[in-house]
Amino acid sequence: MSEKKLWGGRFTKQTNAAVDDFHSSIRFDQRLYAHDIKGSIAHAKMLAKQGIIPQVDSEKIVAGLNSIKKDIEDGKVEFDISAEDIHMNIEKLLIERIGEPAKKMHTARSRNDQVAVDTKMYSKEIADKVKGELTDLINVLVNISKNNLETIMPGYTHLQKAQPVSLAYHMMAYVEMFKRDMERMNNVVQACSTMPLGSGALAGVTYNIDRNYTAQQLGFEQPTLNAMDSVSDRDFALDFIYGASMIMMHLSRFCEEVILWSTDEFSFIILDDAYSTGSSIMPQKKNPDVAELIRGKTGRVYGDLIGTLSMMKGLPLAYNKDMQEDKESLFDAYDTVSSCIYMFTKMMETAKFNKKAMADGAEGGYTNATDVADYLAKKGVPFRDAHEIVGKLVLFCIENNITLAQVSLERYKDISMHFDTDIYKAIDVANCVKQRKSFGGPAPESVQVMIKETEKFLEGV
């Protein structure tokens, strides 16, 4: 038979064992043990400071909690499913260790505000960790960019060759995505800046507590303003999962390109053997499994987001047991995005780029056609007319299986009197990239500005 619950005074019979198992969250929320203990220590100190419990009892509570934390970290604690969650498990352990003083620890609080403060502290912590992991990834991409300012490759729209760019420029496009992801993690940290502890079950408490003192002890900027919202708010957790979903979407897009680039048809990238796998039947295969698995795991994090949004959408104020379901989604989203950022960073850090294949790719597909139109426009031809002229020129090249660089000057002049010998310099793909000096463009000096701005951004994180 299950032990009597800490909340069991109103009940005349024990909870069914199957209900204990169904109801319990200790299997997953035990990872909040350090946050729960930290919150309880701050609460106990505040209770003593305010004269709500004796100082000696507060000191015993604090010492007992610290000993429990050490034993958990040393693997000496076995959690009890019948105690439901990490909060009740720790309180039960504390009562066993120090007796009556432990029963005073829960004065002026509820599990509702207790779990809210634990989850907020955890969410802030993991948001900061993800920011650090994104910093590592951005640094790797910046280093690739610094070494490839003049590595020419084709840029694409609709997965069709569009215009020549540089590998550095392409990498820095993803850097911008990951910088936005860091800003989203900053927003999570800010969403976790107010402290719900002291809100009670939903309507505050009747004790003369000092929530500002507790907030200061726990590193919050201030207490939450409305107790009812405090215990029913999981926006901060959703903010994290949404931010993680965005990171995964960006990683997945990048992985899709890495997968394409690693094919024989592209041959733009060579993944390190340590971050590739082989085939059980085809000995020649080198598969981009790390990139594929990250792409696949993106849907998993999306599921965490949709599941949590769906769980919250029909809940009346204030706390409801449904909200226990936020933990596994939050934990899974963090575990997944963290491991994916790490693996992707290592994969890119060790990858090699086939500069010749990239340059050859930029020569094909008439990626310099826009530059021919720009050439004519600069000579006074209205751009729309220039566009039509070059379209016909490209058709001529396709029909004759030649590139724009292989068109004779005589043919150019037949098409438009504005063409001259300088057309060949204008359509050199390397020169096409160098001439795109507009702010945000792929010219080496423009990309260097991006790199410098990113380095300043990282200094301010």
Q: Please report, as a single letter, which amino acid is at residue 165.
A: V
| CA dist., res. 44 & res. 134, Å (int) | 37
Is residue 427 within 8 Å of 404, Cβ to Cβ?
yes
Is residue 267 within 8 Å of 235, Cβ to Cβ?
no
- Least confident range from 19-28, 160-169, 181-190, 350-359: namely 19-28
Average pLDDT (101-130) is 98
Cα torsion angle, 22, 27, 31, 37, sign: positive
Cα–Cα distance list, 69 to 36, 304, 349 (Å): 10, 29, 38
Which among 145, 250, 279, 338 is annotated as catalytic?
279
What 3-state class would DSSP assign to 324? helix
Average pLDDT (189-207) is 98
Cα–chain center distance at 431: 37
What are 140-178's pLDDT values in tens digits? 999 999 999 999 999 999 999 999 999 999 999 999 999
Domains and CATH numbers, the chain: 16-107 (1.10.275.10), 112-148+158-354 (1.20.200.10), 361-459 (1.10.40.30)
Active site residue 145: no
Closest CA to 113 of 186, 48, 41, 200: 200
pLDDT band (50, 70, 90) for residue 439:
very high
Active site residue 252: no
Which among 23, 158, 250, 252 is annotated as catalytic?
158
- Quick check: 2 pLDDT over 50? no
Which pLDDT score is estimated for 131? 98
Average pLDDT (78-102) is 95
Residue appearing with tokens 């002026």 = 108
Cα–Cα distance list, 453 to 128, 142, 175, 232 (Å): 21, 11, 11, 40
Cα–chain center distance at 234: 18
Cα–chain center distance at 178: 8
What are 281-323's pLDDT values in tens digits? 999 999 999 999 999 999 999 999 999 999 999 999 999 999 9
| CA dist., res. 52 & res. 363, Å (int) | 78
Residue 88: how many CA atoms within 13 Å on its side-chain side? 19
Closest CA to 130 of 2, 10, 54, 240: 240
pLDDT band (50, 70, 90) for residue 24:
confident
DSSP state of 277: B
- Residue 44 CB partners (closer than 8 Å, separation 6+): 53, 58, 61, 62, 65, 105
How high does pLDDT run on average in the chain?
Answer: 95
The proportion of the chain whose per-residue pLDDT surpasses 70, expressed as a percent, equals: 96
What are 223-267's pLDDT values in tens digits? 999 999 999 999 999 999 999 999 999 999 999 999 999 999 999
What 3-state class would DSSP assign to 278? coil
- Quick check: 23 pLDDT over 80? no
| CA dist., res. 243 & res. 181, Å (int) | 7
- Quick check: 359 pLDDT over 90? yes
